[in-house]
Homo-oligomer: A and B are copies of this chain.
Amino acid sequence: MASDQPSETGEDTYEQFEERVERISNVGNAAGILRWDQEVMMPEGGTPARAKQLSTLSSISHELLTAEETGDYLDELEGEDLDGDREAVVRETRREYDRATTVPEELVTEISETTSNAHPVWMEAREEDEFSTFAPTLEKLVSLKREYAEHIDPDADPYAVLFADYEPYLDLETAERVLTRLREELVPLISAIDDSDTEIETDAFSGEFDDDTQEELARDALDTLGYDWDRGRIDTAPHPFSSGTQFDARVTTRFDEEDLLGSITSTIHEFGHANYTLGLPDEGYGTPLGEARDLTVHESQSRLWENHVGRSEAFWERFLPQVRERFPEVEATPREAYESANQVYDDNLIRVEADELTYHLHIVIRFEIERDLIAGDLDVEEVPEVWNDKYEEYLGVRPETDAEGCLQDIHWSHGSFGYFPTYSLGSVLAAQLYDAATDAVGDVDSRVREGEFDELNGWLREEIHAHGKRYTTPELIERATGKAYSADDFLAYAKAKYGELYDLEAY
């Protein structure tokens, strides 16, 4: 009997450890509901109390994570011979633990206070189109985040450390290689589109569309894609998002009377996020095995549904009759709808209004600037000019104001340096996954045309969703697609699609 003791002890330790992990997860999920409520339901006067509730949950969670016991469990379990699932739970928790314990409390508090104060300053700067109003705050945030990175890993490139907060397992070299290829190959592609004489349809969805009927149509779209209403709901929010767990993953969208297409694509985008969450295994709830891999994979799911499904000709053949049932005034053909959903803008300055191609150049510009800022290779005061120069160089347009330039996005006011790249990395991954799904289950496009999404989604469930955080991002990609992560599939897709749309000889 005595010889059984050590493994029994290990068992007990793992169970205690997992109980703690689940507790942290439940506190986080409770906070998620509070944040959803705040964006979607809460009356405005609730703000002061909600801030205190969220701050309390956040510090409870932080204390549970950074407690000595957590470290002791991790130390002990790392010496055990665990199965793959448990090993993954330990690996992921170790990562969180190390990040949370190496940064001093005071620095965490200072960053949190600085970002809270930064938000109104950024708002004011943007409203007044005055970069100098925001510059000192940005300067401070750059310096604080550099210090933060230094604590986590003094030997690493600080930008790589920050990037790893959003995308822990895809190394920065890989990310940079992908982003560089996007720049190198999309700049000439977009240029060829600009030079093309082909005029595609752009007005398939022009008109005025009332919000209530748009909401019914958004529900139609979610029905068509197979959203599980027993575990979800749709509401409106000024900045659409999705949130929740595999038991309850909600989407939000917004309606603009003059932008029917925008509400459809935004709804499908958020469906992609929620559909990933809903595919996480029920039995993994409460541990990393039941949680989504990081931002690149999450964004791959929203972009796969938004772009590869929702902007395909096949989808519009399927969905246009449903649009017409709600809005008989839409007279476009599926081809015209398809073209309108894929027009490439030659004069757009705003990231969130960009099309599927130019979007990536907006990201590349932000990436190059924030990387140089954190490296100390660029001064904050130079940002507006560098920003405008890059827009001119990559996109052929030059912002006339900073409000339409480097002040347009909220991210830096949050101190979120390293976040932007994951948008593009996710889109690139979406193409690789869509191709692999097509290889595995046959012609997905024709299934989309028939409104059959089960095979595609079944493949995503099995290859991506079901694994939660079991594998690191590169492992997950390689297992699902049989090859390493790269921009190949995305670029091939982009060239074929837009070469056909704009009748480009060289593509």
- Residues of A in contact with B (beta carbons under 8 Å apart): 22-23, 26-27, 29-31, 33-34, 37, 41-50, 52-53, 55-57, 60, 228-233, 244-248, 250, 282, 285-286
Q: A27-B60, A60-B60 are in contact. Are A33 and B45 (CB under 8 A)?
A: no
A62–chain B nearest beta-carbon distance, Å: 13
User: Residue A26 contacts which of B37, B56, B244 (CB distance < 8 angstroms)?
Assistant: B56
A33 to B246 Cα, complex, angstroms: 20
A35–chain B nearest beta-carbon distance, Å: 10
User: Residue A48 contacts which of B42, B229, B247 (CB distance < 8 angstroms)?
Assistant: B247
Interface centre among A34, A41, A244, by most B CB within 10 Å?
A41
A118–chain B nearest beta-carbon distance, Å: 24
A309 to B23 Cα, complex, angstroms: 47
What are 25 of the A-B contact pairs (CB < 8 Å)? A22-B56, A23-B56, A26-B55, A26-B57, A29-B49, A29-B53, A33-B33, A33-B37, A34-B34, A37-B37, A41-B233, A43-B229, A43-B230, A43-B232, A43-B248, A43-B250, A44-B230, A45-B231, A45-B247, A47-B247, A49-B248, A50-B248, A52-B285, A52-B286, A60-B60
With a cutoff of 8 Å between Cβ atoms, the chain B residues found around residue A244 in the complex are 46
With a cutoff of 8 Å between Cβ atoms, the chain B residues found around residue A60 in the complex are 23, 27, 60
With a cutoff of 8 Å between Cβ atoms, the chain B residues found around residue A229 in the complex are 43
With a cutoff of 8 Å between Cβ atoms, the chain B residues found around residue A48 in the complex are 247, 282, 285
A31 to B34 Cα, complex, angstroms: 9
Contact status A248-B46, CB under 8 Å? yes
With a cutoff of 8 Å between Cβ atoms, the chain B residues found around residue A47 in the complex are 247
Contact status A30-B57, CB under 8 Å? yes
With a cutoff of 8 Å between Cβ atoms, the chain B residues found around residue A248 in the complex are 42-43, 45-46, 49-50
Which residue of chain B has its CB nearest to the CB of A232?
B43
A34–chain B nearest beta-carbon distance, Å: 6
A27 to B52 Cα, complex, angstroms: 10
Q: A49-B248, A285-B49 are in contact. Are A30 and B56 (CB under 8 A)?
A: yes
A29 to B34 Cα, complex, angstroms: 10
Which residue of chain B has its CB nearest to the CB of A24?
B56
A462–chain B nearest beta-carbon distance, Å: 21
A22 to B57 Cα, complex, angstroms: 12
A46 to B246 Cα, complex, angstroms: 8
8 additional contacts (CB under 8 A) given A26-B52, A46-B248? A26-B57, A27-B56, A27-B57, A34-B34, A42-B248, A44-B230, A46-B244, A49-B248
With a cutoff of 8 Å between Cβ atoms, the chain B residues found around residue A231 in the complex are 43, 45-46
A182 to B12 Cα, complex, angstroms: 58
A193–chain B nearest beta-carbon distance, Å: 43
A418–chain B nearest beta-carbon distance, Å: 30
With a cutoff of 8 Å between Cβ atoms, the chain B residues found around residue A55 in the complex are 26
With a cutoff of 8 Å between Cβ atoms, the chain B residues found around residue A246 in the complex are 49
Interface centre among A22, A34, A43, A55, by most B CB within 10 Å?
A43
A232 to B34 Cα, complex, angstroms: 16
Which residue of chain B has its CB nearest to the CB of A42?
B248
Q: Would you list the 10 A-B pairs with minimal beta carbon distance, nearest first?
A: A46-B248, A45-B231, A26-B56, A49-B247, A45-B230, A30-B53, A26-B53, A46-B247, A49-B245, A23-B56
With a cutoff of 8 Å between Cβ atoms, the chain B residues found around residue A245 in the complex are 46, 49
A59 to B231 Cα, complex, angstroms: 26
With a cutoff of 8 Å between Cβ atoms, the chain B residues found around residue A34 in the complex are 30, 33-34
A256–chain B nearest beta-carbon distance, Å: 24
A1 to B50 Cα, complex, angstroms: 41
A467–chain B nearest beta-carbon distance, Å: 19
With a cutoff of 8 Å between Cβ atoms, the chain B residues found around residue A250 in the complex are 43
A66 to B494 Cα, complex, angstroms: 61
With a cutoff of 8 Å between Cβ atoms, the chain B residues found around residue A41 in the complex are 41, 233
Contact status A228-B29, CB under 8 Å? no
A57–chain B nearest beta-carbon distance, Å: 6
A49 to B229 Cα, complex, angstroms: 16
A58–chain B nearest beta-carbon distance, Å: 11
With a cutoff of 8 Å between Cβ atoms, the chain B residues found around residue A37 in the complex are 33, 37
A56 to B23 Cα, complex, angstroms: 6
Which residue of chain B has its CB nearest to the CB of A36?
B37
A307 to B390 Cα, complex, angstroms: 69
With a cutoff of 8 Å between Cβ atoms, the chain B residues found around residue A22 in the complex are 52, 56
A48 to B45 Cα, complex, angstroms: 31
A392–chain B nearest beta-carbon distance, Å: 46
A247 to B37 Cα, complex, angstroms: 14
Which residue of chain B has its CB nearest to the CB of A45?
B231
